[in-house]
Amino acid sequence: MPDTMTKLRVVYGEEQLGLHGAGFDYLFDYGQGPVSLVINGKEWLYRAPQPAFWRATTDNDRGNGFSRSAAQWLGADLFSHVVAMSITADGQTVPQPLAPANNDFGPGATADTVGVSYTYETPTNPVAKVIVRYTVAAGGALTVRVRYLGTAGLPQLPAFGLRLVMPTPTTRFDYAGLPGETYPDRRSGSKQVCTVQGMPVTPYLVPQECGMHMSCDWVRLTRETTLNNADHADTPYTLTVRGADGPFAFSCLPYLPSELENATHLEELPPVRRTVFTVYGAVRGVGGIDSWGAPVQPAYTIPSDQDCEFAFVINP
Amino acid sequence: MEASLAWLDQPETFRVNELPAHSDHQFFASPEEAAAGSSSLTRSLDGQWQFAFAADPELIPAGFYAPAFDEAGFAPIAVPGHIELAGYAKIQYTNTSYPWDGHEFRRPAYTTPATNPQVGQFSRASDNYVGLYRKTFTLTDDWADRPLTIQFAGVERAMYLWCNGEFVGYAEDSFTPSAFDLTPYVHRGKNLIAVAVFRHSTASWLEDQDFFRFTGIFRSVTLQSLPATHVVDLALDARPNADFTAGTLAVTAKLSPVANHAKATVTLADASGQVLATQVTAAQATTTWPTLTVPQPHLWSHHNPYLYQVQVTVTDDTGAVCEVATAATGFRRIEVTPDHMVLLNGKRLIINGVNRHEWSNLRGRAITEADMAADMATIRTHHINAVRTCHYPDQLEWYRLCDTNGIYVMAETNLETHGTWQTPAGIEPTYNVPGSVKQWEAAVLDRAKTQYETLKNHPSILFWSLGNESYAGDDIAAMNAYYKRVDPTRLVHYEGVVHNRQYEDQISDLESRMYTPPAEVAEYLSGEAKKPFLLCEYMHSMGNSVGGLNEYLDLIDRFDDYVGGFIWDFKDQALTVTDPITGQPVVRYGGDFDDRPSAYEFSGDGLVFADGTPKPALQEVSEDYARYDD
């Protein structure tokens, strides 16, 4: 028997790579990215994570024309796609495991560490690249490293992060960070442990970017339900995300930016069905000098021609 | 006298038979009533009135104000309230656009050849709907033989009043009290008052505030039964001496009518009720007493809003009390130093303020005392020390709350003509009013005078503001001169003069601007500043905003002549209604009522949402303002 107490059990499937251990089962689709993160029997992904570039237009964004000048990033948020992926096991590159080559891996494959890396291209002009690298350690610790490659000739980014859509609503979340809804240019308060019930959408008259939490060390999401028809439990269960390179920002909302973007009133948003959890490496300020033209101060913008990298860890 | 609809078209006609504006002191029949704060001399007419809607002036039923008129076409309506929120007319929100833009061609009277004047501009206008109100009240024996006045605390936008079928008077200026003498028209038993409230008159040109455009009797209506001698007006002039070691209080009372041998006693008490000084004199039409002196007075300020109580008691020749009039006062001094610092009681004044419209998500501007108390609690909790009453005088209770809570007030005259000078063409004042148009001067001067006379005793008011976004010309200069003449104890503020600097030596004690980036403020203050600098509007809290507030607060540390500013604004103006699709309460804004033109969500600029719950940005304001709250 393979040593799955201290090593990862690795399954080189036809379309996905499986990494398994005590209390966790991860599936990495070769074409899309991770499609399943099951921890203690509960699924945490509805679809593969995607790089996040857009924020739903704020009143100030509309007033100063930022959404118009940055519109390419809305397309990038919706339609970026994987153009390359690679796998390493214990530091060794694994050729893409398609049949018949994967016939040789057999049922007993193990590894101490497996890395899966996806390269995304944006539908922008010029094209920009994002590399998301997932590294899984034997105990199931999943480190996610996200890197935007600076590209000249593109507008400032509305946001940069990695978005994880989860199958059912988050019922509460706790985090260590700044209290309330904060942005780089509106970050009052001192770091503390905060609890938020549900996934509140700040009821601005016109739905817009909201719910950002800056300078966080960790966040713990709690859900109670799954989509698994055979799972009848409603016991709360959690997922904890920690910053790997230092503090991070996140939002935990029931809607995608594109859904918020389309609504003129709160009640036009659909019933809450899923969790849209986004970890940000860069957040643009909201501004405030006026709502009809004043730009966000340069210190609070995200330049497109510089790299942006952040990392976080999920522990089972 | 007969009512004339032509008044609607004449800027020179804005008050007919109105009683002169007077102080908002309270008055009682006895010391006991005064102590209890409950007067038998006033009676509220708030509640259910009978109402009919006329789509334009020609559709007003003849004689609707007559007692014998058949009320069959009338239905109950709540007073105070807005006609639009009662479902009779479309709710509309516009910003600078006049609400008729694109529907009717109008220019203010006497500004262009086409409108010199434009006869029938409002009196024969299909968009000038009219609210017709009838209310009966019973004059009981104890009130039947005494003078009776009626006060309308707020009516938008032009009102005609009848009593028992006879025309009483006409009033404009929606946000200050309008009072009339009913004595000649009333009798013991049942009486009828009738009011026609017009959506538009020349006052509409002067009330182009960025807000929901409402119509109707939206503040309280009160009957006042006057005693044999009534304190019509009370003027309290409380000043600390040069080094704040003593305070002097000069009291002037206007009495009417003055009975022979009547006496008038003034007392000054401290906050605990301890009487500090008393003077008695013979009652006269204008009664004054020797100046009262208070050694080592408590100075009124944000952190110590210490109020003294003034009481004037009028007694008749038998010594019986006719009336007790009361008002609060406070000793404080605001001044500008030669190097343009603003001082309050000798210390630098820092304004960490907010602009506040009166607003309820359920009642519009017809807010209640509970609404005001909730607003004040939020302001106090979050280290906001000042309020600009944008862009009109508020309900009187608000100033009492500011007095007692130590909130500095910029009291703004009811004037905004934004759409007459700032258009897509830029600053284009060819038909600006009031401008320097002589025929409009009296109307805006009257607005200044009414605000001053009504509110002059409130220690919380540190600034008189001439209005908002109305450009600058001779008429606004005349308003400035008026406030300066009647009140040397306060500063005068007006922002619009920065767009027409030829008047800057005549208008405004402050260099006031709005939405200036912090770097530009610093640039101005680093140069040859002529006046203290204030941002009467800054940090536009629309939606998810208020980023970079600390850069403004840093200016306080950098420049002594930076006074601070008022954030735009306190509360989202939006309405909670029932969603016809889901049956759930939902929030609606401009454009959601088929209203065009509309400025849509542009009124959602509050630090709190329309229902008063804080926006996330409020914690930032609270923390940043707290740095200076000492």
pLDDT tens track, chain A, 316 positions: 455 568 999 999 999 999 999 999 999 999 999 999 999 999 999 999 999 999 999 999 999 999 999 999 999 999 999 999 999 999 999 987 788 877 888 888 999 999 999 999 999 999 999 999 999 999 999 999 999 999 999 999 999 999 999 999 999 999 999 999 999 999 988 899 999 999 999 999 999 999 999 999 999 999 999 999 999 998 999 999 999 999 999 999 999 999 999 999 999 999 999 999 999 999 999 999 999 999 999 999 999 999 999 999 999 8
Give the mutation candidate from A57, A188, A201, A297 for the B interface (greatest B CB count, under 10 A).
A188
Strands A110-111, A8-12: pairing is: antiparallel
Q: Which of B159, B191, B225 is the last residue before a domain boundary? A: B225
Report the alpha-carbon distance of residue B79 to residue B150 in Å, rounded. 15
- Helix orientation angle between B369-381 and B396-405, rounded to the nearest 10 degrees: 30
Tell whether B75 is covered by a domain: yes
- Those residues whose C-beta lies under 8 Å from the C-beta of residue B603, and which sit 6 or more positions away, are B93, B95, B210, B211, B212, B572, B573, B574, B589, B590
d(CA B11, CA B559): 43
Is B242 found in the same domain as B206?
A: no
Query: Does B74 share its domain with B195?
Result: yes
CATH code, B296: 2.60.40.10
Task: Say yes or no: A298 contacts chain B, CB-CB below 8 A.
Answer: no
For chain B, list residues with pLDDT below 70. Answer: none
Does any CB of chain B come closer than 8 Å to the CB of residue A18? no
Asked if A140 and A24 touch (Cβ cutoff 8 Å), the reply is yes
Q: And the tokens for B561?
A: 């002549």
The helix (run of H) or strand (run of E) holding residue B151 is strand B148-152
Domain final position from B329, B364, B385:
B329
- Residues of chain A found within 8 Å of residue B616, distances taken between Cβ atoms: 180-182, 186, 202, 210
- CA–CA distances in Å: residue A63 to residues A158, A257, B545, B570: 15, 18, 12, 20
- Identify residue B161 by its one-letter amino acid code: L
Residues B432, B366 share a domain: yes
Q: Which residues pair with B246 in a beta bridge?
A: B295
Tell me whether residue B73 is in a domain. yes
Residue B67, both tokens: 């007692």
Cα radius of gyration rounded to whole Å, chain B: 24
- pTM for this structure? 0.97
Which contiguous run of DSSP H or E holds residue B450? helix B438-455
Task: Look at residue B577 and tell me if it is in a domain.
Answer: no
Task: Report the first-to-last Cα separation within chain B, whole angstroms.
Answer: 58
Beta strand B461-465 pairing with B491-493: parallel
Share of chain A above pLDDT 70, in %: 98
Q: Any idea what the CATH number is for the domain that residue B445 is in?
A: 3.20.20.80
| CB pair distance less than 8 Å for B539 and A289 | yes
- Please tell me the predicted confidence (pLDDT) of residue A5: 66
* Domains, chain A, with CATH or none: 8-315 (2.70.98.10)
Q: Look at residues A49, A74, A65 and name the one whose alpha carbon lies nearest to residue A124.
A: A74
Burial of A298 (0-12, 13-18, 19+ CB in 10 A): exposed
Touching check for A287 and chain B: CB below 8 Å? yes
**Same domain (yes/no): B214, B276:** no
**Number of folded domains in chain B?**
3
Starting at the edge strand found earlier in the chain, the sheet holding A248-253 runs A50-52, A159-166, A275-283, A248-253, A213-216
Q: Map residue B567 onto helix, strand or coil.
A: strand
Q: Where are the beta strands (DSSP E) in B226-380?
A: 230-240, 246-256, 263-269, 275-282, 286-288, 292-295, 308-315, 321-329, 334-336, 342-344, 347-348, 351-355
Interface contact flag, A289 B543, Cβ < 8 Å: no
Residue B547 and residue A184: Cβ atoms within 8 Å?
yes
Cα separation, B313 vs B525, in Å, equals: 51
CATH number of B200's domain? 2.60.120.260
CB B264: neighbour CB atoms within 10 A? 26
Please tell me the distance in Å from B299's CA to the nearest CA on chain A.
Answer: 33
The alpha-carbon gap from A247 to the nearest alpha carbon of chain B, in Å, equals: 20
Instruction: Give chain A's end-to-end CA distance (angstroms, integer).
Output: 23
Q: State residue A3's pLDDT score.
A: 57
Q: Which of B171, B199, B225 is the endpoint of a domain?
A: B225
B484-534 pLDDT tens trace: 999 999 999 999 999 999 999 999 999 999 999 999 999 999 999 899 999
Q: Which domain holds residue B457?
A: 350-571+606-626
Q: At B162, is the secondary structure helix, strand, or coil?
A: strand
| pLDDT computed for residue B113 by the predictor | 84
Question: Is the Cβ–Cβ distance between A197 and A222 less than 8 Å?
Answer: no
Q: For residue B463, what pLDDT is reported? A: 98
What CA–CA distances, in Å, run from B354 to A88, A308, B53, B351?
59, 38, 37, 9
pLDDT reported for residue B630: 77
Same-domain status, B389 and B503? yes
Give CA–CA dist A277/A273, Å, rounded: 13
What pLDDT score does A96 carry? 75
Residue in the structure block whose two tokens are 């008047």: B503
B380 in any annotated domain:
yes
Whether residue B60 sits in one domain with residue B91 = yes
Q: Using an 8 Å Cβ cutoff, are B561 and B341 in contact? A: yes
Picking from B586, B605, B610, the nearest residue to A265 by CB comes out as B586
Select from B588, B604, B617 the Cβ nearest to the Cβ of A186: B617
Q: Is residue B201 located within the same domain as residue B287?
A: no
Two tokens, residue A166: 């989860």
Q: What would the DSSP string read from start to end of B192-207? A: EEEEEEES-STHHHHB
- Tell if the CB–CB gap between A267 and B586 is shorter than 8 Å: yes
Residue B434 resides in a domain: yes
- Give dist(CA B421, CA B497) in Å, integer: 13
In order of A276, A313, B50, the CA distances from B138 in angstroms are 64, 78, 16
User: 3-state DSSP call for residue B177?
Assistant: coil
The answer as to whether B386 is a domain residue is yes
Strand partners of residue B565: B352, B535
- Is the CB of A205 inside 8 Å of chain B's CB atoms? yes
Q: Does residue B386 share a domain with residue B284?
A: no
Distance in angstroms (rounded) separating the CA atoms of residues B169 and B182:
10
pLDDT at B146: 94
Quick one: B186 and B263 in the same domain? no
Residues with Cβ within 8 Å of residue B256, at least 6 apart in sequence: B229, B230, B232, B285
B299 and B405 together in one domain: no
Per-residue CA distances from A291 to A60, B570, B605 (Å): 5, 16, 9
Q: Which residue has the tokens 């100030």?
A: A60
Residues contacting residue B190 through CB under 8 Å, at least 6 positions apart: B136, B137, B138, B139
User: How far does Cα A72 stand from its chain's mean position?
Assistant: 20
SS3 sequence of chain A: CCCCCCCEEEEECCCEEEEEECCEEEEEECCCEEEEEEECCEECCCCCCEEECCCCCCHHHHHHCHHHHCCHHHHHHHHCEEEEEEEEECCEEECCCCCCHHHHCCCCCEECEEEEEEEEECCCCCCCEEEEEEEEECCCCEEEEEEEECCCCCCCECEEEEEEEECCCEEEEEEEECCCCCECCECCCCCEEEEEECCCCCCCCCCCCCCCEEEECEEEEEECCCCCCCCCCCCCEEEEEEECCCCEEEEEECCCHHHHHHCCCHHHCCCCCCEEEEEEEEECCCCCCCCCCCCCCHHHCECCCCCEEEEEEEEC
> Are residues B294 and B407 both part of a single domain?
no
B218 within 8 A of B175, measured Cβ to Cβ: no
* B447 plus B543 within the same structural domain: yes
**Per-residue confidence (pLDDT) for residue B13, from 0 to 100:** 98
The answer to whether residue B206 sits within a structural domain is: yes
Q: Is residue B120 part of a domain?
A: yes
B chain contacts of residue A202, beta-carbon cutoff 8 Å: 544, 615-616
How would you class B189 by CB atoms within 10 Å of its CB: exposed for 0-12, middle for 13-18, buried for 19 or more?
A: exposed
Bond from prior residue into B295 cis (ω within 30 degrees of 0):
no
> Å from B532 to nearest chain A CA?
21
- Best B95, B515, B538, B544 member to test A by mutation, with max A CBs in 10 Å, is B544
Task: Return all residues near B544 (Cβ < 8 A) that are at least 6 apart.
Answer: A58, A59, A60, A181, A183, A202, A204, A208, A209, A210, A286, B616, B617
CB of A190 within 8 A of CB of A215?
no
Distance from C-alpha of A242 to C-alpha of B450, rounded to nearest angstrom:
63
Interchain contact, A288 vs B622, CB within 8 Å: no
Cβ atoms of residues B334 and B433 within 8 Å? no
- Determine the residue among A186, A208, A210, A261 to mutate to test chain B binding: the one whose Cβ has the most chain B Cβ atoms within 10 Å: A186
Q: Half-sphere exposure of B275 toward its Cβ, with a 13 Å CA cutoff?
A: 8
Contact call for B619 and A205, based on CB within 8 A = no
Chain B residues in contact with chain A using a Cβ-Cβ cutoff of 8 Å: 515, 517-518, 538-549, 551, 572, 574, 579, 581-582, 584, 586-589, 592, 601-602, 604-605, 609-610, 615-617, 619-620, 622-624
Write the single-letter amino acid at B135.
Answer: K
